[in-house]
Amino acid sequence: MTQRTGDARFPRTNYKTSQHCIAYLDMLGGKNVICNDPQSEHLNKINMIFYDALEESKMFASDVFVKIFSDNILLAMPTDNDNRKQNIEKIIGLVNNIISEMADYGYLMRGAITEGDFFGNNIIAYGNGLVEAVLLEEEYAIYPRVIVQKEIAKLLPHYFYSCEDGWAMLNPYIFSIGSYDFINFRQTFLTKLKNNKANEKVRQKIMWAINNFNAINKAMRQVGALRSLITREELDKAIK
């Protein structure tokens, strides 16, 4: 253990937190995937997806902070400047792209987006905004959804839907104007339901996501989007 004495006991850095928009995402069932991956198949898929997210973030927003740990990904952008609204929108776009690409490979995500104090470098990620994002993801997201602070939902209401439990959630289908991403979500939900039909806890979360998928896309159909819902027949086939 390092023994510091005299002036060496005082840090030579002068780090400070500042206002950021923070997104913290977690892969549902990630623990089970990691512990049952003898050929590292999922490791390489997740690495590829997160690498794509990292490369895209550099093109999309040069000042975005990205930290990846196991099956979690952290994104943060400063909001203590004139670009506050634009930077929050950039985080929303990055989160939606990650969720969509994960769905393409059969993975579901949950998470939270907050705004608060944050500091990050290649060693440490720190701040009350990060603590809140992790807390919301772990304690309140529960289902395959990304929940957000009320202040963010009020700032950009067109990106969010209100859930029955009072949380505002990011609409993961808002950028799925074409059919590709939409079909990915649809197929992933049904496959996950079929593969987890004997696991009541997981099945409940997937059914919540399916019901939410149908509710959101039913509303989008009313404004002209061509969306097919997951039918009762498809559900019965998946769980029989």
Tokens of 77: 């952008």
Q: Is the pLDDT at 109 greater than 90, yes or no?
A: yes
Identify the weakest region by mean pLDDT among 13-17, 101-105, 174-178, 212-216.
Answer: 174-178
Per-residue pLDDT tens digits for 61-85 = 778 899 988 889 999 999 998 999 9
Per-residue pLDDT tens digits for 146-197 = 999 999 999 999 999 899 899 999 998 877 655 556 778 888 899 989 988 8
Q: Which residues contact 76 (CB under 8 A, 6 or more apart)?
A: 20, 21, 22, 23, 64, 65, 91, 118, 120, 125, 129, 130
Average pLDDT over residues 100-129: 93
Q: Is the pLDDT at 7 greater than 90, yes or no?
A: no
SS (H, E, C) 113-149: EEEEEEEECCCCEECHHHHHHHHHHHHHHCCCCEEEC
Average pLDDT over residues 120-136: 96
pTM: 0.89
